[in-house]
Amino acid sequence: MIVVRRPMLKCADFMPVTLLEEFSEVRIGHVGPVLISVWFSQATMRGLEALSKHQLALVARHGKITNLSVAVKIPKAPGPEAQEWLKKNDVRLRGTSLGTVIVVLERGLGAILARSFIAAASLISANSMHVVKTLDEAVAKTKLLPGQPREILDDATLRSNLEVFVAAPPVTR
Protein backbone atom coordinates (compact mmCIF):
# COMPACT_ATOMS: atom_id res chain seq x y z
CA MET A 1 0.00 0.00 0.00
CA ILE A 2 1.32 3.42 -0.97
CA VAL A 3 0.70 6.26 1.45
CA VAL A 4 0.19 9.62 -0.22
CA ARG A 5 0.39 12.99 1.49
CA ARG A 6 -1.27 15.89 -0.28
CA PRO A 7 -0.44 18.49 -1.59
CA MET A 8 3.13 17.13 -1.81
CA LEU A 9 3.42 13.58 -3.20
CA LYS A 10 6.91 12.25 -2.71
CA CYS A 11 9.07 9.25 -1.97
CA ALA A 12 12.43 11.02 -1.98
CA ASP A 13 13.67 14.44 -1.06
CA PHE A 14 15.40 15.71 -4.20
CA MET A 15 12.47 17.02 -6.26
CA PRO A 16 9.09 15.68 -5.22
CA VAL A 17 6.06 15.95 -7.45
CA THR A 18 4.00 18.93 -6.35
CA LEU A 19 0.28 18.31 -6.67
CA LEU A 20 -1.45 21.16 -8.50
CA GLU A 21 -5.00 19.88 -9.00
CA GLU A 22 -6.91 16.62 -9.20
CA PHE A 23 -10.27 15.29 -10.24
CA SER A 24 -11.54 11.73 -10.52
CA GLU A 25 -10.32 11.60 -14.13
CA VAL A 26 -6.93 13.33 -13.84
CA ARG A 27 -4.21 14.28 -11.37
CA ILE A 28 -1.96 17.21 -12.35
CA GLY A 29 1.37 18.02 -10.76
CA HIS A 30 4.85 19.18 -11.61
CA VAL A 31 8.53 18.70 -10.92
CA GLY A 32 10.15 22.01 -11.79
CA PRO A 33 9.32 22.68 -15.45
CA VAL A 34 7.91 19.18 -16.08
CA LEU A 35 4.11 19.21 -15.98
CA ILE A 36 2.73 15.77 -15.16
CA SER A 37 -0.82 14.64 -15.85
CA VAL A 38 -2.10 11.20 -14.89
CA TRP A 39 -5.31 10.26 -16.69
CA PHE A 40 -7.48 7.66 -14.97
CA SER A 41 -10.31 7.83 -17.51
CA GLN A 42 -11.37 9.66 -20.64
CA ALA A 43 -10.08 13.22 -21.00
CA THR A 44 -12.76 15.71 -20.01
CA MET A 45 -12.98 19.42 -20.73
CA ARG A 46 -12.71 20.06 -16.99
CA GLY A 47 -9.41 18.16 -16.89
CA LEU A 48 -8.10 19.68 -20.11
CA GLU A 49 -8.91 23.23 -18.97
CA ALA A 50 -7.14 22.60 -15.66
CA LEU A 51 -4.16 21.23 -17.58
CA SER A 52 -4.06 24.35 -19.77
CA LYS A 53 -4.21 26.64 -16.73
CA HIS A 54 -1.22 24.89 -15.16
CA GLN A 55 0.70 24.80 -18.46
CA LEU A 56 0.38 28.57 -18.74
CA ALA A 57 1.44 29.07 -15.12
CA LEU A 58 4.54 26.89 -15.54
CA VAL A 59 5.45 28.60 -18.82
CA ALA A 60 5.22 31.97 -17.04
CA ARG A 61 7.53 30.64 -14.33
CA HIS A 62 10.03 28.57 -16.36
CA GLY A 63 9.80 29.82 -19.95
CA LYS A 64 9.79 26.36 -21.51
CA ILE A 65 8.16 23.24 -20.11
CA THR A 66 7.90 19.52 -20.77
CA ASN A 67 4.51 17.81 -20.74
CA LEU A 68 4.55 14.27 -19.36
CA SER A 69 1.16 12.54 -19.56
CA VAL A 70 0.40 9.09 -18.20
CA ALA A 71 -2.65 7.21 -19.49
CA VAL A 72 -3.58 4.71 -16.78
CA LYS A 73 -7.03 3.72 -18.05
CA ILE A 74 -8.78 5.13 -21.09
CA PRO A 75 -12.25 3.58 -21.58
CA LYS A 76 -12.96 5.49 -24.80
CA ALA A 77 -11.44 8.12 -27.03
CA PRO A 78 -12.14 11.75 -26.16
CA GLY A 79 -14.83 13.52 -28.14
CA PRO A 80 -14.48 16.22 -30.79
CA GLU A 81 -14.47 18.98 -28.16
CA ALA A 82 -11.19 17.57 -26.79
CA GLN A 83 -9.66 17.57 -30.27
CA GLU A 84 -10.76 21.18 -30.76
CA TRP A 85 -9.21 22.06 -27.40
CA LEU A 86 -5.93 20.44 -28.51
CA LYS A 87 -5.82 22.64 -31.61
CA LYS A 88 -6.41 25.84 -29.64
CA ASN A 89 -4.00 24.87 -26.88
CA ASP A 90 -1.29 24.00 -29.40
CA VAL A 91 -1.51 27.50 -30.89
CA ARG A 92 -1.57 29.14 -27.44
CA LEU A 93 1.52 27.24 -26.24
CA ARG A 94 3.52 27.19 -29.48
CA GLY A 95 7.21 27.71 -28.79
CA THR A 96 6.93 27.07 -25.05
CA SER A 97 7.35 23.29 -24.98
CA LEU A 98 10.52 21.21 -25.04
CA GLY A 99 8.32 18.26 -25.96
CA THR A 100 5.57 15.95 -24.84
CA VAL A 101 6.11 12.44 -23.49
CA ILE A 102 3.04 10.22 -23.26
CA VAL A 103 3.07 6.96 -21.33
CA VAL A 104 0.33 4.48 -22.22
CA LEU A 105 0.27 2.05 -19.29
CA GLU A 106 -2.98 0.43 -20.31
CA ARG A 107 -2.91 -2.59 -22.60
CA GLY A 108 -5.46 -4.04 -25.02
CA LEU A 109 -8.35 -2.00 -26.42
CA GLY A 110 -7.71 0.91 -24.07
CA ALA A 111 -4.15 1.21 -25.38
CA ILE A 112 -5.39 1.15 -28.97
CA LEU A 113 -7.88 3.93 -28.20
CA ALA A 114 -5.24 6.01 -26.45
CA ARG A 115 -2.70 5.56 -29.24
CA SER A 116 -5.30 6.41 -31.91
CA PHE A 117 -6.15 9.66 -30.13
CA ILE A 118 -2.46 10.47 -29.69
CA ALA A 119 -1.81 9.81 -33.39
CA ALA A 120 -4.57 12.26 -34.31
CA ALA A 121 -3.25 14.81 -31.81
CA SER A 122 0.27 14.54 -33.21
CA LEU A 123 -1.03 15.54 -36.64
CA ILE A 124 -2.23 18.90 -35.35
CA SER A 125 0.54 19.57 -32.84
CA ALA A 126 3.71 21.52 -33.55
CA ASN A 127 5.30 19.93 -30.46
CA SER A 128 7.63 16.98 -30.45
CA MET A 129 5.63 13.96 -29.16
CA HIS A 130 7.01 10.67 -27.88
CA VAL A 131 4.80 7.73 -26.91
CA VAL A 132 6.27 5.11 -24.57
CA LYS A 133 5.03 2.10 -22.60
CA THR A 134 6.76 2.46 -19.22
CA LEU A 135 7.65 5.08 -16.65
CA ASP A 136 11.34 4.20 -17.08
CA GLU A 137 11.11 5.02 -20.79
CA ALA A 138 9.21 8.23 -20.00
CA VAL A 139 11.87 9.50 -17.61
CA ALA A 140 14.66 8.59 -20.04
CA LYS A 141 12.88 10.34 -22.94
CA THR A 142 12.12 13.39 -20.78
CA LYS A 143 15.77 13.75 -19.82
CA LEU A 144 16.84 13.42 -23.48
CA LEU A 145 14.69 16.30 -24.72
CA PRO A 146 16.97 19.10 -25.97
CA GLY A 147 17.01 22.09 -23.63
CA GLN A 148 15.99 20.16 -20.52
CA PRO A 149 17.29 22.11 -17.48
CA ARG A 150 20.01 20.72 -15.23
CA GLU A 151 17.56 20.32 -12.30
CA ILE A 152 15.70 17.64 -14.30
CA LEU A 153 18.80 16.03 -15.82
CA ASP A 154 20.36 15.61 -12.36
CA ASP A 155 17.18 14.45 -10.59
CA ALA A 156 17.97 10.86 -9.59
CA THR A 157 14.58 10.51 -7.87
CA LEU A 158 12.38 11.57 -10.79
CA ARG A 159 11.45 7.97 -11.67
CA SER A 160 10.55 6.93 -8.12
CA ASN A 161 8.64 10.15 -7.42
CA LEU A 162 6.74 9.76 -10.69
CA GLU A 163 5.83 6.19 -9.75
CA VAL A 164 4.35 7.32 -6.42
CA PHE A 165 2.42 10.13 -8.13
CA VAL A 166 0.95 7.72 -10.70
CA ALA A 167 0.21 4.91 -8.22
CA ALA A 168 -1.82 7.02 -5.80
CA PRO A 169 -5.52 6.21 -6.22
CA PRO A 170 -7.66 8.80 -7.98
CA VAL A 171 -9.89 11.04 -5.91
CA THR A 172 -13.60 10.29 -6.03
CA ARG A 173 -14.91 13.77 -6.79
**The domain spanning residue 76 has which CATH number?**
3.30.750.24
State how many domains the chain has.
1
Residue at 5 is within a domain: no
CA distance 35 to 112: 24
Mean pLDDT of 108-122: 66
Residue at 161 is within a domain: yes
What pTM value is reported for the model? 0.84
* Residue numbers of the domain that contains 91: 11-167
- Residue 73 has a pLDDT of 81
C-alpha distances (whole Å) from 150 to each of 29, 32, 100, 129 are 19, 11, 18, 21
30 vs 82, which has greater pLDDT? 30
